[in-house]
Amino acid sequence: MSSAEEVQIIFCTVPDPDCGQRIARHLVEYQLAACVNLLPGIQSVYRWKGEICTDAETLLMIKARTADYKDLENAIRKLHPYELPEIIAVPLNNGLAGYLDWVRSVKNEAQ
């Protein structure tokens, strides 16, 4: 696995910025993520239980070590209000080496 592949971006939608802030702070505080960007004001259109729904949401863009994914997913599931939250991990193939080094090192910084 290359050093870039040790880092991933996880996308997760939440119902509002307050919920997103709560989840983001938890993930960073417990060293499950190096950084979480909150992108408010997105519009989601989806099918749920046979109906087409449209909702305003906030998107979390989470940068984290691949090795921490399971714990990160479990934390989101515990804190997330949705019955079935969107949690999608995208592996990285490339990125600025210094930034990726920082993402990987955050877990060690607080120790």
Q: Domain 4-109, what architecture?
A: 2-Layer Sandwich (3.30)
Task: State the helix-helix crossing angle for 69-79 and 17-29, rounded to 10 degrees.
Answer: 140
pTM of structure: 0.92
pLDDT one-digit tens code per residue, 84-106 = 999 999 999 899 999 999 999 98
> What is the CB neighbour count within 10 angstroms for residue 83?
7
Report the pLDDT value the prediction gives residue 9, as an integer from 0 to 100.
Answer: 98
Instruction: Please state the domain extents for the chain.
Output: 4-109
Q: Are 65 and 104 in contact (CB under 8 A)?
A: yes
- Mean pLDDT in the chain? 93
